[in-house]
Amino acid sequence: MLTFHYAHWSAALDEGLARIRQAGAELLLVSLGVATFEREPISSFKLRSDDYPASTG
DSSP secondary structure letter of residue 26:
S
35: Cα within 13 Å, side-chain hemisphere: 5
Domain map (residue ranges) of the chain = 1-17+30-57
The whole-angstrom separation of Cα 41 and Cα 47 is 13
Each residue's pLDDT tens digit, 1-57: 677 888 888 898 899 989 999 999 888 887 766 688 888 888 888 888 888 887 776
In whole angstroms, give the CA distance from residue 3 to residue 36. 10
- Amino acid (1-letter code) at residue 1: M
pTM value is: 0.58
- Residue ranges in the chain assigned as alpha helix (H): 6-23, 51-54
